Amino acid sequence: MKSIRIIPCLDVSDGRVVKGTNFVNLVDAGDPVELAAQYDLEGADELVFLDITASSDNRETVYELVRRCAEKVFIPFTIGGGIRTVSDARKLLREGAEKVSVNTAAVNRPELISEIASEFGNQCVVLAIDARKNTEDVAQPTKSGYGVYINGGRTPTQLDAVEWAQMGERLGAGEILLTSMDRDGTKDGFDCELLNAVSTATNIPIIASGGVGDLEDFLQGVTLGSADALLAASVFHFGELSIAEVKEYLHSHSVPVRPTFKRN
């Protein structure tokens, strides 16, 4: 079994890290580069930055964030939000990002995944999927019971979350960042049913996102959800858990994790 990666997620709006519940009611959580540098020192394996309010229309703000982060952070980081073209991806990767994450633009034009993968390699492309359980008011329920949402979770699509993940893999995505909108910010734990369904149906790493509240949630993301990486936000941003605590807990339950090396 490969080592499970622990990944803090920094949702960025107007140059600040924010966190909410079910994608709304956002509160300020600090400066993104300062937090990123802190997580690097604390032993995070990777970082994810998501421009959640499409302020990426002003791309220079995001490019500046990547430049600053590349100067202070020595672990891989992914950036997503508003990436619509190979040119967008190229500049972010050249500024220092390890990977780019695509969501809405990929749903609107799936060949974007293949274009970025062909130019930079599959390992640089993360397909972000925001999924929600079908409800009674859904016009056309999806086969897996989970639908795909875009535009920061505001717009439903007709896509089935599992089928879209499979298509993303075929098109060249190297990883899937799978967020449960139902669990996001609730601290009720990962949606392991969703995670397991996508993990079973695909052959690329699945990053679990949405719902972490305690240490057991991390463990269940691996044992019940079959996730390859575990992403969390508020429990790290507000000091409820540390990277070291999570890794020690997982290690004590026979889950392989990368050692935490403190840098001065």
Q: Where exactly are the structural domains of the chain?
A: 5-252
Indicate which residue of 130, 184, 191, 228 is catalytic.
130
Mean pLDDT check: name the lowest of 9-13, 75-79, 242-246.
9-13
What confidence tens digit (pLDDT) does each residue in 56-114 have? Answer: 455 666 788 899 999 999 999 999 988 999 999 999 999 999 999 999 999 999 999 99
Distance CA 123, CA 171 (A): 13
Active-site residue, 182 included? no
Q: Which residues of 122-143 are buried (b: 16+ CB within 10 A; e: fewer)?
A: bebbbbbbbbbbbeeeeeeebe
Whether residue 232 contacts residue 186, with contact meaning beta carbons closer than 8 Å, is answered with no
Active-site residue, 11 included? yes
86-95 vs 59-72: helix crossing angle, rounded to 10: 30
- Residue 133 is inside which H or E element, if any? strand 125-133
Distance CA 224, CA 201 (A): 15
Distance CA 232, CA 229 (A): 10
Whether residue 247 contacts residue 260, with contact meaning beta carbons closer than 8 Å, is answered with yes
For 87-213, strand residue ranges (E) read: 99-102, 125-133, 146-150, 155-160, 175-180, 206-209
pLDDT at res. 263? 56
pLDDT at res. 107? 97
Provide the token pair at 38.
Answer: 């802190």
Q: Which CATH number fits domain 5-252: 3.40.50.970, 3.40.50.720, 3.20.20.70, 1.10.8.420?
A: 3.20.20.70
Indicate which residue of 11, 40, 191, 228 is catalytic.
11
Q: What is the pTM of this model?
A: 0.92
SS3 212: coil
